């Protein structure tokens, strides 16, 4: 890939990969991508310790740079670039995730010291964050300069023109490009925030993680428990590889807790009623291992019903929902009030033997004894699947689970876009990534995986970062739907009724699929 000449003075001694990426995007064929997936998964199945295709690709595309010189020059350069904006106040909002809390507590003061730009950052619960963000984007008052762009919502925001085109601003104002902001060093997750048509960038990732299968090593490794399980189920106790095995584990440990008078259940379930968390658990975590992808919506004709080419009301989808709802009998009573944070708290309190937990919480659950009762007892593995899913992944048709995360983008009505662009690039600096990763289990840079601090933490997390690096391509983000919010809110009530028992799983998905087809037509899709 030929790199365009860069007009920025600081780049005169070396090629500027960022400038080149503003104009060039390497194109890979479907065939080569599928071959890469096949090779990767075969290596996974053979338990060969190797780097992911993601890492290899980045190595090929990256040029050699003097990291030490770049790091030392960065603070001075950002101070110069920020000089016209000293005294400016930029405002933003984010969800109260571990990554965002770290930004507010650690990185905001550092940026303010280096630039003289004040950052007022509001960190608030998910529902409140979403409500305030949508209100600002629709009204366009300029109340927020930067917003948290969840990967799920990016295509919706993009289609409505809610975000500033970062690539365009950089082309117009190359003097604002910081020398240590390197998109090539980001993981492939950065591509989730590009316009699919132009490849222009609209967000800088601040967090990315996998929703993995967590289990209690102390329980699964206990010889007495192993013997009891084998006697009852006629096969060895182990972290679940299949969904059938997961259910057996859940049933066994729930009964074990009852018989031993312990506050222990067999599984977590993120089944909050009247909260979107239950929708996301089913479609991000449960449906894919059963072979239901993209919410059961046919991405070619935007139909959900089987009669029209979709899968939302298919036998497989109904089997998946029935499996998940059935797990409630093996889950703690708080499960029907649990979204992502509550599930993490349940596991950290030692109330579940296994569960699906968002990676952003893995670090504190496994290492923070002030918050977690299971420090040193946490195992991490790939999610269990049903038959046929591995084959789907091999041919590039499916995925194992959810690659979650978000970015900061500049709101379209921002009155401080240039100063905010410096802030976003600052958050992409390689030198601030390792401690951030160790604290909140998020990684958005390839180089972060190889940092000594991160490698040390990886051992404490039972290989979470290794799994993320080597097997991250087996996971996928949300479908590229511009109607994400509308269809989520169409389906969610039916999922809630299945949880409460007001509808059977079959009834819930039959009705949901019909409602989705109607709503998509109303929105102008699937005509």
Q: Bridge-partner residues for 381, per DSSP?
A: 213
Q: What is the pLDDT of residue 377?
A: 97
DSSP 142: S
Cβ(281)–Cβ(491) below 8 Å: no
Whether 5 has a pLDDT exceeding 80, the answer reads: no
Q: Report residue 274's pLDDT band, with 50, 70 and 90 as the boundaries.
A: confident
Q: Bridge-partner residues for 354, per DSSP?
A: 215
Q: Report residue 470's pLDDT band, with 50, 70 and 90 as the boundaries.
A: very high
Cβ(356)–Cβ(195) below 8 Å: no
* 3-state per-residue secondary structure call for 235-292: CCCCCCCEHHHHHHHHHHHHHHHHHCCCCCECCCCCCCCCCHHHHHHHHHHHCHHHCC
Q: Report residue 259's pLDDT band, with 50, 70 and 90 as the boundaries.
A: very high
Count of other CB atoms within 10 angstroms of residue 198 = 12
Whether 353 has a pLDDT exceeding 60, the answer reads: yes
Rg (CA), the chain: 23
Cβ(477)–Cβ(196) below 8 Å: no
Whether 20 has a pLDDT exceeding 60, the answer reads: no
Cβ(412)–Cβ(140) below 8 Å: yes
Whether 394 has a pLDDT exceeding 90, the answer reads: no
Unique residue bearing structure tokens 């028992």 = 501
Cβ(310)–Cβ(304) below 8 Å: yes
- Among 384, 420, 378, CA closest to 400: 384
Q: What is the pLDDT of residue 290?
A: 97
pLDDT digits 0-9 by tens, 70-88: 344 455 899 999 999 999 9
Cβ(474)–Cβ(54) below 8 Å: no
- 262: which residues sit within 8 A by CB, 6+ positions away? 256
Whether 1 has a pLDDT exceeding 70, the answer reads: no
Residues 189-199, mean pLDDT to the nearest whole number: 94
Residues 406-410, mean pLDDT to the nearest whole number: 97
Q: What is the pLDDT of residue 33?
A: 38
Count of other CB atoms within 10 angstroms of residue 519 = 18
Low-confidence winner among 63-67, 111-115, 139-143, 263-267 (lowest mean pLDDT):
63-67
Unique residue bearing structure tokens 């809630």 = 496
**Mean pLDDT across the chain:** 87
Residues 113-126, mean pLDDT to the nearest whole number: 96
Whether 407 has a pLDDT exceeding 60, the answer reads: yes
Domain ranges of the chain: 9-207+406-461, 272-315+481-527
pLDDT digits 0-9 by tens, 38-68: 444 444 444 333 333 333 333 222 322 233 3
Q: What percentage of the chain reaches a pLDDT higher than 70?
A: 86
**Phi, psi (deg, nearest 5) at residue 376:** 80, 5
Q: What is the pLDDT of residue 83?
A: 96
**pTM for the full predicted model:** 0.81
Q: CA-CA distance, 310 to 308, in Å (whole number)?
A: 6
Unique residue bearing structure tokens 């600052």 = 426
| Cα dihedral sign, 55-61-66-67 | negative
- Among 409, 414, 416, 410, CA closest to 140: 414
Low-confidence winner among 128-132, 291-295, 301-305, 392-396 (lowest mean pLDDT):
392-396
Q: What is the pLDDT of residue 9?
A: 35
Q: What is the pLDDT of residue 75?
A: 56
**What CATH number has the domain spanning 9-207+406-461?**
3.40.190.10
CA separation (Å) from 4 to 8, 20, 59, 285? Answer: 12, 5, 19, 42
């Amino acid at each position: 890939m030929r790199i365009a000449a860069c007009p920025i003075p600081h780049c005169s001694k070396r090629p500027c990969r960022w400038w080149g990426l503003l104009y060039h995007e390497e194109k890979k064929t479907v065939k080569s991508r599928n071959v890469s997936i096949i090779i990767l998964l075969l290596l996974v199945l053979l338990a060969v310790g190797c780097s992911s295709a993601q890492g290899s690709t980045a190595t090929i595309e990256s040029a050699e740079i003097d990291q030490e010189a770049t790091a030392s020059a960065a603070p001075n350069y950002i101070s110069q670039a920020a000089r016209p904006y000293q005294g400016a106040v930029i405002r933003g909002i984010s969800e109260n995730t571990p990554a965002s809390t770290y930004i507010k507590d650690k990185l905001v003061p550092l940026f303010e010291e280096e630039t003289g730009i004040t950052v007022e950052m509001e960190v608030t619960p998910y529902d409140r964050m979403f409500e305030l963000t949508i209100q600002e984007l629709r009204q366009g008052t300029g109340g927020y300069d930067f917003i948290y762009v969840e990967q799920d919502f990016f295509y919706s925001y993009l289609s409505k023109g809610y975000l500033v085109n970062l690539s365009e601003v950089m082309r117009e104002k190359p003097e604002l490009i910081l020398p240590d902001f390197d998109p090539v060093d980001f993981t492939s997750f950065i591509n989730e925030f590009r316009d699919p048509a132009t490849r222009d960038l609209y967000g800088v990732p601040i967090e990315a993680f996998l929703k993995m299968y967590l289990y209690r090593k102390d329980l699964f490794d206990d010889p007495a428990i192993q013997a009891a399980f084998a006697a009852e189920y006629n096969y060895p106790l182990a972290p679940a590889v299949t969904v059938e095995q997961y259910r057996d584990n859940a049933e066994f440990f729930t009964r074990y807790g009852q018989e031993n008078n312990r506050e222990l259940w067999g599984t977590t379930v993120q089944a909050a009623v009247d909260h979107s968390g239950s929708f996301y658990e089913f479609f991000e975590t449960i449906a894919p291992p059963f072979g239901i992808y993209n919410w059961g919506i046919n991405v070619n004709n935007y139909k959900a019903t089987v009669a029209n080419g979709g899968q939302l009301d298919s036998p497989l989808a109904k089997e998946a929902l029935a499996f998940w709802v059935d797990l409630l009998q093996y889950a703690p009573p708080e499960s029907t009030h649990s979204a992502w944070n509550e599930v993490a708290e349940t596991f950290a309190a030692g109330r579940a033997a296994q569960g699906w937990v968002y990676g952003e919480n893995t670090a504190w659950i496994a290492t923070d004894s002030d918050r977690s009762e299971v420090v040193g007892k946490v195992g991490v593995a790939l999610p269990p699947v049903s038959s046929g899913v591995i084959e789907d992944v091999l041919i590039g048709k499916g995925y194992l689970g959810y690659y979650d995360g978000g970015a900061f983008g500049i709101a379209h009505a921002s009155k401080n876009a240039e100063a905010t662009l410096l802030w976003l690039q600052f958050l992409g600096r390689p030198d601030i990534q390792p401690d951030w990763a160790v604290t909140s289990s998020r990684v958005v840079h390839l180089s972060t995986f190889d940092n000594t601090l991160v490698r040390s933490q990886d051992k404490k997390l039972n290989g979470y970062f290794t799994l993320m690096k080597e097997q991250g391509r087996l996971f996928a983000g949300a479908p590229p739907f511009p109607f994400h919010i509308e269809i989520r809110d169409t389906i969610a009530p039916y999922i809630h009724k299945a949880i409460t028992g007001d509808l059977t799983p079959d009834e819930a998905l039959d009705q949901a699929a019909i409602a989705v087809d109607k709503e998509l037509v109303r929105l102008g899709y699937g005509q």
